[in-house]
Structure 1
Amino acid sequence: MTSAEKDPKFENLLVYLRQSRGFDFTGYKRSTLIRRVFKRMQSLNIENFEEYQDYLEVYPEEFNHLFNTILINVTAFFRDSSAWEEIAEQILPNLINNKKASEQIRIWSAGCASGEEAYTLAMLMAQILGAEEFRQRVKIYATDVDEDALNQARQAVYSEKDVQSIPDELRHKYFEFVGNRHVFRQDLRRSVIFGRHDLLQDAPISRLDLLVSRNTLMYFNSETQGRILARFHFALNENAYLFLGKAEMLLMHSNLFTPLDLKNRIFTKVSTVSLRDRLLVMANPADDESSNRLARNVRLRDMGFDTTPIAQIVIDTNGTLVMVNEQARILFALFPKDLARPFQDLELSYRPVELRSLIERAYTERRPVILTNVERYISNTEIQYLDVQITPLQETDNSLLGVSISFHDVSRYIKLQDALKRSQQELETTNEELQSTNEELETTNEELQSTNEELETTNEELQSTNEELETMNEELQSTNEELQTINSELNQRTTELNHTNISLISILRSLQTGIVVIDSSFNISIWNYMVEDLWGLRTDEVIGKSIFSLDIGLPVEQLRSPIRESLSGRKQFQETILDATNRRGRQIKCYLAITPLFGAEMQGAVLMMVDVEKVSSMISTQDIEKRQQQE
């Protein structure tokens, strides 16, 4: 969502949160942020941002629920085990070797959530140094903006499920089993310091040897990421390390950090280039070595453009096609002879989408124009979905050079989204379907992880897409845990309701009297088997119908007034005898008793009816008729 497309009402809500509670979410990605806020609003049946802001003003306790929804605390011990193996086997030993024997080692876990990764670092460092040296030399600072998560982290208490990913040797060595819970060793716990810290507003912790911030940057927009990374750069010592999450690659910030192990997202700090060094480079522009280096750099740039996995073309301001990479040639069947041709003469200019008007719009607005989910028909049955970005290319004096157009194939993501929607629907059915959906999500996670590894050299827009997918994945994991809890509660309530229904059916069957229950609108909700035998209508034929619409041998119209009096509460008990014809065509006298049915409010009435001849020993017809005459 660009700045021009921001919802003013949502932006007002963010300003209110910052002014009233000090939480600044304006640097977060709008798509993720709006999705999380909407989730909380739906739970309250609130439809727009203005109403939700009014709700926050009236109910201040809602802030905590909102922040817990926005701040997704999805973490684990040794999360992404291959990356932690590299940290344990290479990074931490190198870090220790580069320090003097008595020199302090400072580590920062930024966005620590409930503390699992901070304690993972503590275990690995203690394993290398030994417990005694660890306590003397190591300080691990673990920070987050979520106070509830920090309180949980400070307790250092975890469930059996939480510690399953810890190797048995480390779990037995560094955790104590107390009351069905696993507690981290207190003597080592003192070296892990937890505190609230806002990456945007608070000063960074300095003089660090290792900074771990995993799957935290991906929630912020590109501008905010740049500000945070500049602070990370300041916080780290020379030759220090930065360890990020699997969706965070820093492709646009190579001036601050250089990848040491891009697959595992481990980076080193780039030393600041001095002004003297830059002047020395500029002093001999005609030097042969410099010329050769420049030529290699140009060739390297061209090869990098040609081999990028995203289809991309470049058009100059005269409307001439000047560059086409390999993916674009394959995707749109372009050939070297098409270079230098007018773009408007190519089929690509108007299919799968009209690009000429969008190019003019990019020139006019001087900003990228983005189209998502553009449909391209490959065959009669197969559709390809593309994200198209038209980016104006400007010289340093802001004059236009042309445009770059990239085509990102998102068909796979569209299919994944459809699969996830179907999985969400299946989660609401049965436990068996829930298990199947979890397996599908695990497969999806593996596919997304594989996709991220394949797209390590993509542009900034693809980087943003990868981060968005990782965010949705963590939301789904959080939602799965919530649904499992809700499902257990629903199973328990269903069992209780079944017991209640069985008891009610047993009671109704044990009564040798016809029982009819109607609601306040005269519609039948209970019709027991004695009534079926009396009037010849089955339960499924009358449920939900008005009692006055029944065509039976009972003169139901004569009951309208007594039933209304019962529903209004004017009479608590009424009884009468009516002449009727039963289902066998025999004339009978039917005894009826009417009583109101109360709950929190009037819910309906209960009609008890029976053939007088069958219960003559219990009911005196003459007594009832006398009472009717007296009334």
Structure 2
Amino acid sequence: MIPEEKDPEFENLLIYLRQSRGFDFTGYKRSTLNRRVRKRMHSLSIESFGDYLDYLEVFPEEFNNLFNTILINVTAFFRDSLPWEYLAEQILPNLIKNKESSDQIRIWSAGCASGEEAYTLAMLMVEMLGIEEFRQRVKIYATDIDEDALNQARQATYSAKAVQAVPDELRQKYFEILGNDYVFRSDLRRSVIFGRHDLLQDAPISRLDLLVSRNTIMYFNSEAQTRILARFHFALNDAGYMFLGKAEMLSMHSRLFTPIDLKNRIFMKLSSVNVRDRLLGISNLGDDESSSRLSRHLRVQDMGFDAAPIAQVVIDNSGTLILVNQQARTLFALSSKDLARPFQDLELSYRPVELRSLIEQAYTERRPITLTNVERYLSNTETQYLDVRITPLQETDTSFLGISIIFDDVTPHIKLQEEMQGSQQKLETTKEELQSTNEELETTNEELQSTNEELETTNEELQSTNEELETMNEELQSSNEELQTINNELSERTAELNSTNIFFVSILKSLQTGIVVIDNNFNILIWNYMVEDLWGLRTDEVQGKSLFSLDIGLPIEQLRSLIRDSLSGKKQFQEIILNATNRRGRQIKCYLAITPLLDISIQGAVLMMVDIEKVNSMISTQEIEKRQQQQ
């Protein structure tokens, strides 16, 4: 895989974060880190990483904002429902069945964010064990590096939208409603223990039956992923389960875990682990450079063992097959599924030769045992000859780690010996052919090895791309939630504005006076129904037009100077009575009052107009009614 190009300014920023704040992000994927940091810089209008480092030095409180931007806390109850269904139906029942009734069940939710997945595990376990047994037996450890997310998780308070994915029956059973929020039951929360934990720096939680880490390790580079998975392997009990996210695969860690259901990302720990994997698990206790070097050396050793031209298998002292190289897989049709199986259950243990008694003999006599020219019948006409060497792997003077068995295909040599009995000339010819064949085999082996390495590299690149896409998907989901919140706020404001507008229109309709509002260009903004009744023009006919462009029975030009005085602020209130003709053609005296529009954002004036005769009639009517009441 082509290494990611490093930006010196960006690397200096990461070093500053580690030295000043104690957070080491160097194990995270550079592309993801770069994108998240730039997002925060964009919100502050900062262009370069150097300038942003200076900003952090001046404003240390910015670190919290950066930290929250880098850590994408996208999670949900029963996230990706199908894997959770498989976990509940197939894995958890087996986990409980394999435990004694008094044994504790320990679960770790690594990268728990705001706690939804930890509480999902709690609900599933209560459904299977009952409340009392759950309290007594189950411990769920939920960890994350983000303290803000952990504080939210400890409160166990979620919005109605957040609990939509929880089935109605479980929601009613395990949540209490508090206002508009849902709170997880406090009596069950005691079994869920939250704490801050750095997967790369802190020691793993041990003796686990189930480890849930969904879409967490995909943010780390391949070196960091190897270290984390080695720690996960150490943390799990023998045959413990690991539950990963949909974008995470373990194609390069088949000696640590075996897939139970690859589609749902459920894996089981392989209990028989060689010294190489133990060393890899502790390599991160030293500095980053030495651990990376040790990791590379171990991988080279693995590849060297796998590329050996002679078939070899290794069995541990409990009789379990733990290592098989490429030649042995090809020769005896073995696969990765045969790893961790008892050797006595394999056909290889008794064919082409009975090896079980020979293994015991090697242990008893404490020496290698060699068999030559072992016949292996491939077909009715073809026979293969093998030299078999059984070597005990002794760690001290009194204990053995296991047995190494080497199968050397000597069939060509046997055939050569048979031909040598014929003629020396044929022997020389056969030697040349054998040499040529051997060279071709070696060339083919090298080509196959090179092709295999290229395929592994391509697989790693595809896996990295898949993880990157999943990371971007979670970022988009986080941004979508932010936009949804803003949209809800805008909807609320729009509703308030509509309500205010309706209230304002109702007031205008309730007034028994003509109201006209104009801006500082004399354009009409408001024209209420009383004005429509006076001059016979509808609102949609005049709105946005200049007041002085209207052809109505009011001598508008006489108002120009008055309106200008009002717009300029010279006079706050003016009134005038004009002779006019209403829409019915009747001569009236029109009373007008002009005041400036008191609005910071809009300059204009308000014109109030009314037919004096109509007002007098209303006043006279009111006086008559008043006298009648007094009488």
* 1:114 paired residue number: 114
Give the distance between the partners of 1:546 and 1:221, measured in 2 at CA: 68
State how far apart, in whole Å, the 2-side matches of 1:134 and 1:588 are. Answer: 89
Q: Tell me what 2:459 maps to.
A: 459
Q: What secondary structure, in the 3-state scheme, does the structure 2 residue paired with 1:232 have?
A: helix
Matched, 1:140 2:140: yes
SS of the residue 2:597 aligns to:
strand
Which residue pairs with 1:342 in the alignment?
none
The corresponding residue for 2:345 is: none
Q: Which residue of 2 aligns with 1:572?
A: 572
Report the Cα distance in structure 1 between the residues aligned to 2:556 and 2:16, rounded to whole angstroms: 62
- How far did residue 142 of structure 1 move? 0.3
Matched with 1:190 is: 190
Listed one character per residue, the Cα deviations across residues 302-341 of structure 1 (whole Å, up to 9, x for unaligned) are xxxxxxxxxxxxxxxxxxxxxxxxxxxxxxxxxxxxxxxx
Report if aligned partners of 1:13, 1:49 keep a CA contact under 8 Å in 2.
no
For 1:503, the equivalent position in structure 2 comes to 503
* Distance in 2 between residues matched to 1:109 and 1:272, nearest whole Å: 24
C-alpha spacing 1:47/1:296, structure 2 compared with 1 (3 Å): farther
CA contact (8 A) 1:109 1:142 kept: yes
Q: CA deviation at 1:606?
A: 0.9
Identity %: 74
Q: Which amino acid aligns with 2:328?
A: R
Structure 2 equivalent of residue 274 of structure 1: 275
Name the structure 1 match of 2:328: 293
- Structure 2 counterpart SS, 1:268: strand
The question of whether the paired residues in 2 share the 8 Å contact of 1:574 and 1:595 is answered with yes
Q: Contact 1:567–1:602 at 8 Å: present in 2 too?
A: no
Provide the rounded CA distance (Å) in 1 between the counterparts of 2:223 and 2:308: 35
What secondary structure is seen at the aligned counterpart in 2 of 1:264? coil
Residues 543-594 of structure 1, C-alpha deviation per residue, up to 9 Å, x if partnerless? 3345456676766666555434434444221224567777789987654322
Determine helix, strand or coil for the equivalent of 2:267: strand
Give CA-to-partner distance per residue, 1:155-184, whole Å, 9 cap, x none.
3455676666566786777x3756587665
Structure with the greater alpha carbon radius of gyration: 2
Which residues of 2 match residues 550-569 of structure 1 at below 5 A?
Answer: 559=559, 561-569=561-569
Larger displacement relative to structure 2 (126-135 or 8-17)? 8-17
Please report how far the alpha carbon of residue 80 of structure 1 lies from its aligned counterpart in structure 2 after TM superposition: 3.7
Shift in alpha-carbon separation, 1:573–1:199, aligned structure 2, 3 A: farther
CA pair 292-176 structure 1, distance change in 2 beyond 3 A: closer
Contact 2:535–2:582 (8 Å) recurs in 1: yes
Structure 2 counterpart of 1:192, one-letter code = V
- 1:209 and 2:209 are equivalent in the alignment: yes
Structure 1 residue 108, shift from structure 2 partner: 1.4
Distance 1:64 1:528 in 2: 55
Give how far 1:140 is off: 2.1
Letter in 1 for 2:508: L
1:608 pairs with 2:608: yes
Instruction: State the TM-score, normalized to the length of structure 1.
Output: 0.56
Task: State whether structure 2 residue 505 is matched by structure 1 residue 526.
Answer: no
Query: Could you say if the C-alpha distance between residues 132 and 287 of structure 1 is closer, same or farther in structure 2, counting changes exceeding 3 Å?
Result: same
Shift of 1:500: 3.2
Residue 57 to residue 555, structure 1, CA distance change in 2 (3 Å) = farther
Checking the alignment, whether the CA contact within 8 Å between 1:72 and 1:474 is kept in structure 2 is yes
Q: CA deviation at 1:235?
A: 3.6
Write out per-residue CA displacement over residues 391-436 of structure 1, whole angstroms, 9 at most, x where no aligned residue.
xxxxxxxxxx999999xxxxxxxxxxxxxxxxxxxxxxxxxxxxxx
Q: State the TM-score, normalizing by the size of structure 2.
A: 0.56
Q: Distance in 2 between matches of 1:538 and 1:284?
A: 96
C-alpha displacement of 1:7: 8.5
Residues 204 and 403 of structure 1: CA distance in aligned 2, closer, same or farther (over 3 Å)? closer
CA distance in 1, matches of 2:527, 2:35: 47
**1:579-590 correspondence to structure 2 within 5 Å:** none
Report the Cα distance in structure 2 between the residues aligned to 1:19 and 1:584, rounded to whole angstroms.
Answer: 87
- The residue type paired with residue 293 of structure 1 is A
- What is the rounded CA distance, in whole Å, between the counterparts of 1:205 and 1:29 in structure 2? 24
| Correspondence list, 1:376-387, <5 A | none
What amino acid does structure 1 have at the position aligned with 2:248?
A: E
* Cα distance in 1 for residues equivalent to 2:56 and 2:558: 55
Paired residues of 2:575 and 2:592 also in contact (CA < 8 A):
yes
- Between the aligned partners of 1:57 and 1:556, the Cα distance in structure 2 is 67
SS of residue paired to 1:598? coil
Higher mean Cα deviation, 247-256 or 469-478?
A: 469-478
**Which runs of 5 or more residues in structure 2 are unaligned?**
277-297, 314-324, 337-449, 620-631
Partner of 2:544: 544
Q: 2:112 is aligned with what amino acid?
A: C
**Distance in 2, Cα, partners of 1:186 & 1:107:** 19
Deviation at 1:194, TM superposition (A): 0.4
Tell me, in whole angstroms, the C-alpha distance in 2 between the residues paired with 1:616 and 1:11.
Answer: 85
Q: Which amino acid aligns with 2:274?
A: V
Q: CA deviation at 1:266?
A: 1.5
SS in 2 for 1:459: helix
1:246 match: 246
1:152 pairs with 2:152:
yes
Contact 1:565 1:571 (8 Å CA) reproduced: yes
Indicate the larger mover: 598-607 or 268-277.
Answer: 268-277
SS in 2 for 1:218: helix
Partner AA of 2:210 in structure 1: L
Say whether the 8 Å CA contact 2:580–2:587 is kept in structure 1: yes
- Structure 1 gaps of 5+ residues are 302-400, 407-456, 620-631
CA distance in structure 1 between the partners assigned to 2:329 and 2:452 by the alignment: 24
What is the rounded CA distance, in whole Å, between the counterparts of 1:176 and 1:496 in structure 2? Answer: 33
Task: State how far apart, in whole Å, the 2-side matches of 1:130 and 1:540 are.
Answer: 70
Q: Name the Cα RMSD after superposition.
A: 5.5
* Within-5 A mapping of 1:29-44: none
Contact residue 46 and residue 52 of structure 1 kept, 8 A:
no
Cα distance, 1:132–1:606 mapped onto 2, change above 3 Å:
closer
Alpha-carbon contact 1:208-1:237 (below 8 Å) kept:
yes
Which residue of the partner structure matches residue 259 of structure 1?
Answer: 259
Contact 2:158 2:183 in 1 (8 A): yes
Which residue matches 2:84?
Answer: 84
Cα displacement (A) at 1:518: 2.3
